[in-house]
């Protein structure tokens, strides 16, 4: 079931209350820190031995390991300029490049990360956030082979057949043949497995309400039910953090 679309018309200040957002957690305290939980500034995070909590803050991702108490004080002092730049580029529709692959030298075409979060996952479905007036791209994680998919409204109507060339992870939405419309539910499936269709609904965000910092952007995505895009944002920032960290 796809959640109802929420048109975001609020400014960033309404979303800035969360200092960090939980990406994942394991250990004894995991039940207290589920994925998507907002962690307010100046509220301590107390963990037990064996706890590992990954959070998305303004600069990128941060890993909290127990036992211990951690302060999220509203200030991000880590030197992660690259992570901040990545968050801004991800919130810029111009950063979308169909067919691009993250990771130098990766030519496998399998399970790669998107270069942008403004994409509709052809396997996961769900809500898809996109800045109003921007193009939408369709994404597939496994891109080694050529394939053909069908796109249509779930309620019926025009059906569009699309070709995915080998090692291509993203293609543009065929808007001249099937214009994407806010609030409508779309169905997409590989023509070899029509029983495994994914459904998604488009959520339009006002461009001036799309924040640049990572925590606020993650909150916007979660508040609008765009969970796959939140996961992509966190994964891309984690990759950037790992690349920026010195080798042990």
Residues 68, 89: contact at Cβ < 8 Å?
no
Q: What digits encode the pLDDT tens for the residues 129-171?
A: 988 888 888 888 777 788 999 999 998 888 999 999 888 888 8
Question: Of residues 248 and 63, which shows the higher confidence score?
Answer: 63
* Residue spans per domain, the chain: 1-248
Q: Which value, in Å, is the radius of gyration of the alpha carbons in the chain? A: 19
Q: In what side-by-side order are the strands of the sheet with 159-164? A: 126-131, 198-205, 185-190, 147-153, 159-164
pLDDT in tens, 182-202: 989 999 999 888 888 999 999
């Amino acid at each position: 079931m796809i959640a109802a679309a929420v048109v975001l018309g609020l400014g960033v200040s309404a979303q800035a209350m969360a200092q960090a957002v939980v990406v994942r957690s394991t250990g004894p305290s995991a039940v207290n820190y589920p994925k998507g939980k907002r962690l307010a500034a100046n509220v301590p995070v107390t963990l037990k031995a064996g706890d590992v909590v990954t959070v998305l803050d303004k600069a990128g991702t941060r890993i909290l390991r127990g036992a211990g108490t951690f302060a999220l004080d509203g200030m991000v002092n880590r030197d992660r300029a690259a992570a901040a730049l990545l968050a801004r580029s991800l919130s810029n529709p111009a950063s979308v490049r169909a067919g691009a692959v993250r990771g130098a030298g990766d030519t496998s075409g399998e399970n790669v990360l998107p270069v942008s979060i403004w994409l509709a996952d052809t396997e996961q479905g769900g809500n898809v956030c996109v800045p109003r007036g921007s193009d939408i791209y369709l994404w597939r994680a496994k891109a080694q082979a050529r394939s053909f998919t069908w796109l249509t409204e779930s309620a019926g109507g025009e059906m569009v057949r699309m070709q995915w060339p080998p090692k291509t992870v993203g293609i543009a939405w065929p808007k001249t043949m099937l214009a994407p419309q806010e609030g409508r539910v779309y169905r997409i499936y590989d023509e070899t497995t029509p029983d495994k269709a994914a459904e998604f609904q488009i959520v339009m965000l006002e461009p001036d309400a799309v924040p640049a910092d990572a925590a606020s952007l993650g909150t916007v995505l979660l508040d609008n039910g765009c969970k796959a895009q939140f996961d992509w944002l966190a994964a891309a920032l984690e990759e950037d953090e790992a690349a920026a960290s010195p080798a042990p």
